[in-house]
Each structure stands twice: as C-alpha cells, then as structure tokens.
Amino acid sequence: MNDALEPALVPELLVADLDRSLAFWCELCGFTVAWSRPDERFAYVVLGSAHLMLEQVGVGRNWVTGPLERPWGRGVNFQIAVPDSAALAVVLADAGVELFLPPETKWYRIGDEEAGVQQFLVQDPDGYLVRFQSSTGRRPVAR
C-alpha cells in the first residue's frame, strides 16, 4: 500500500469466522484483501479509501475489553461511501442478506447547505452495523 493513501483511522473488527466475514465484505460488498496473515486469521480489506481490519476471535492476540455479546459493535455504525448504494443493496438482498434499514434518500444539513445521500444499513455476520451511502449532491437549505 502507498503510505500517502493510508487512512489515519482503520477500525479492526473482531469476527467469529474470518471466512464468513470475508465472504460478506469482499464477495458481496466489493472490498478486496490488501494483505492478510492467514495463520493469525487476520485480513486487511479495502474498498476505495475505506479500510478495515478483520481478526478472528480466539486466534492470535485479541484485545477484548469485556464479554463479547451479539450483536458485536453495539452503539457504532460504520459509514462507507460507495459509487452506487442502491445497486449494492440489491446485491445483498439477492444474496439473502436482510437489510437493517432499506434504501432511502436523506438530506443532512451542513451549514447553509444540505448534503443528499442514498443510503441503507446492514449488519455484517457478527452484527456490526454498516451504512453504505452514495452522494446525491448538495443543495441550499430551504428557508
């Protein structure tokens, strides 16, 4: 990887089954494995400028601060920008993955403008909540 393109924040998600997680993140959601340590059941996955680390619980050195209860990652959702969130929602639905929130278009106020997104939410195999979104542009705030 090019050091200039590495993000300053990369979440590392503990997962129950690395193969199942890679099937979700890579085969369905479009991430690719940038590098891995198979003997440690660890993979670093990338989609554009979105980076994640996946590490299987019980193998290698896990940093666990308390009991793991499903769904894992409660209280956080990961927003990931993709070119076409509606198309990704179809891929996931066709694979039998239940969406946490169906596709919607939402406008969020940012100063004197609103930023539009098409978005949906889905849980990965371990229950981490992911919000895939695509920009629909900006507009002035209606007064």
The reply to whether 1-58 and 76-143 are identical in fold is yes
| Residue boundaries of the structural domains of the chain | 1-58, 76-143
Dihedral pair phi/psi, residue 99, rounded to 5°: -85, 135
Task: Give mean pLDDT, residues 110-126.
Answer: 96
Dihedral pair phi/psi, residue 138, rounded to 5°: -130, 155
The CATH code of the domain at 1-58 is 3.10.180.10
Task: Give mean pLDDT, residues 29-54.
Answer: 96
Q: What is the pTM of this model?
A: 0.88
Question: Which CATH superfamily hosts domain 76-143?
Answer: 2,3-Dihydroxybiphenyl 1,2-Dioxygenase, domain 1 (3.10.180.10)
- Please check the confidence at residue 134 and state whether its pLDDT lies above 60: yes
Burial of residue 32 (CB within 10 Å: 0-12, 13-18, 19+) is exposed
10-41 pLDDT per residue, tens: 999 999 999 999 999 999 999 999 999 999 99
Contact 29, 45 (CB under 8 A): no
Task: Give mean pLDDT, residues 41-59.
Answer: 95
The mean pLDDT value of the chain amounts to: 92
DSSP state of 3: G
- Please check the confidence at residue 1 and state whether its pLDDT lies above 70: no
